[in-house]
Amino acid sequence: MYAIVQIGGRQYRATPGQRVVVDRLDVEPGAELQLEDVRMVVAEAGDSGTTMVGTPTVSEFKVTATAVSHLRGPKILVFKYKPKKRYRRQRGFRADLTELRIESIGSIAGGTDKSAHQKAIEPKPEPIEEVAAEPVETAAVAEAAKSPRPTTPRKRQEAKPPAPKASRKAPIEEDGDGA
């Protein structure tokens, strides 16, 4: 079984025993957390129960996690550059992170038996097809449908003759003066 949990605006897949690295949380290392923003609970093969999708959360479940440590992410270099202007700025960034260990996924009522709290996802009902009554045709409509519409053949456009090619050099004009 696994759950999709939202922590700090991001969604993570949580399985018992897994370690998850999230944005820095305001908890001490070793403290236990109750994550109640569970978006989905998925029962895998061999698990009892069914898959539950929250609207937007599954209120019957919570995820218990323990804060393992606080750490910092890798350094990311941010480089700003404007060509031909002698403008170059370099700045580094490291994210503050918290490592969580997922302890369990359980119901809020207490036990790990989820069958009492689960609701099966109901399939959407099939749309009912309505049988429309055939329209009554009048004699004028029936006759208009039978007679073919007059069509006029399209006139074919003649191809235009190609434009004369312009010479690359301008003609040399000579004056009669000889100057």
| Residue 33 banded pLDDT, cuts 50, 70, 90 | very high
Burial profile 113-140: b = 16 or more Cβ within 10 angstroms, e = fewer: ebeebbeeeeeeeeeeeeeeeeeeeeee
Q: Torsion angle of alpha carbons 30, 31, 32, 33, nearest 10°? A: -130
Other Cβ atoms closer than 10 A to 12: 19
Q: What is the rounded CA–CA span in Å between residue 55 and residue 38? A: 10
pLDDT for 36-52, tens place per residue? 999 999 988 777 778 88
Q: How many angstroms separate the CA atoms of 21 and 9, rounded? A: 14
Kind plus residue range of the DSSP H or E element containing 139: helix 139-146
Phi, psi angle pair for 61, to nearest 5°: -120, 155
pLDDT one-digit tens code per residue, 113-163 = 444 344 433 344 556 666 556 665 666 666 666 666 666 667 777 878 888
Q: What's the pLDDT at 146?
A: 67
Which H or E element spans position 143? helix 139-146
pLDDT in tens, 58-115: 988 999 999 999 999 999 999 999 999 999 999 999 999 999 999 999 887 654 444 4
Least confident of 6-20, 67-81, 164-178: 164-178
